[in-house]
Amino acid sequence: MSTRLGVTGSTPTRVVGFDQPLLWVTLALLAWGLVMVYSASIAMPENPRFANYTHTYFLTRHVLWLAMSLVAALLAFQVPVATWEKAAPWLFVASLVLLIAVLIPHVGKVVYGARRWISLGPFSFQPSELAKFAVLLYAADYMVRKMEVKERFFRAVAPMGVAVAVVGMLLLAEPDMGAFMVIAVIAMGILFLGGVNARMFLLIASVLLVAFGLMIAMSEWRRERIFAYLDPWSEKNALAKGYQLTHSLIAIGRGEILGVGLGGSVEKLHWLPEAHTDFLLAVIGEEFGLVGVVCVIGLFLWLTRRMMQIGRQAIALDRVFAGLVAQGVGIWMGFQAFINMGVNLGALPTKGLTLPLMSYGGSAILVNLVAFAVVLRIDFENRLLMRGGRV
């Protein structure tokens, strides 16, 4: 696949390629996710809560979101990286406005006691997903500007810390600790890649760990989740806070090596909550077995590694902002996938984070694909520069 771009005003256009394997692996995950969302949600109308839905309700909505997301990604790919750099502060401000708006009664939509969505007619948008992308761009732009003037570390990084803290307070008010964790890791990763030394990085990491520890200690229901994770099979937890984890482990255990076959999952039949969103990997494990889970892990490892390579290549070409953005997207996708997989496999406490590109969730897929399009654009411009062109 290729795209045309004018090198200069007087030079004829030339064909410049981009990373095709990255594109095809992304499309493969989207296609596999679409199939699994349908498989995991097909029986949901039999539940009284979803009695008014058709068997293809979630599939249809997922297809519509995929179509809109692919169009948005195609448009995002046309935008030069320099334009994203200029827009980063404004996009960050827009995300803050939306995070505030979602907390306003009758504006934010409450689901399971959390106010995280804004209704847009037949669809709902989750501002925290946009905040991940906005913080990533803002952090990359901020580090480039501050490191250029060689300010002292605390003076340079403190405003970035304040910005992340403000976003964190808004997210915790929803509450959405999972999104805050992802945003904190993205910001930390970009700080480290942007030149923060190991000692300062460990100091920041320690502060964040203490902060998250205090959040858990001061919240009874978060503490219950931690204790349920440590002993999900106990009589107290198996039918309460440990219910999702136990049924996720049962699903993965039933899959054994090769799985029970596509569509053959039993746990998705009203036993495993959120089978089409947070616990989609458990259904994959049941229907495709260990082989399917290893394939998913391998694909995300490859995606993360490839985006980090694109970022390093951009930095080598003296495109620091572009490099930090590409590596930031790699950190984002890799960390969120790691958390989701760890939760599904019982290696981490239960946390409401979807599997990127695969789980049902329109706004998440929309923002994920825009972020991937920006990485492809960075790779595209890298190749253009290496061929002697200009961006």
Is there a contact between 385 and 391 (Cβ–Cβ < 8 Å)? yes
| Spans in the chain with pLDDT lower than 70 | 1-16, 147-156, 197-201
Q: Which residue matches tokens 């009203």?
A: 270
pLDDT tens, 81-107?
Answer: 999 999 999 999 999 999 999 998 888
Per-residue pLDDT, 16: 58
Per-residue pLDDT, 3: 43
Per-residue pLDDT, 153: 57
Per-residue pLDDT, 132: 95
- Which residues on adjacent β-strands are paired with residue 248? none
Mean of pLDDT over the chain: 86
Per-residue pLDDT, 8: 40
8-state DSSP, 50: G
Transcribe 360-388 into DSSP letters.
Answer: S-HHHHHHHHHHHHHHHHHHHHHHHHHTT
Transcribe 163-227 into DSSP letters.
Answer: HHHHHHHHHHTTT-HHHHHHHHHHHHHHHHHTT--HHHHHHHHHHHHHHHHHHHHT-HHHHHHHH
Per-residue pLDDT, 44: 87
pTM above 0.75, yes or no: yes
Fill in the amino acid letter for 278.
Answer: D
pLDDT tens, 324-346?
Answer: 999 999 999 999 999 999 999 98
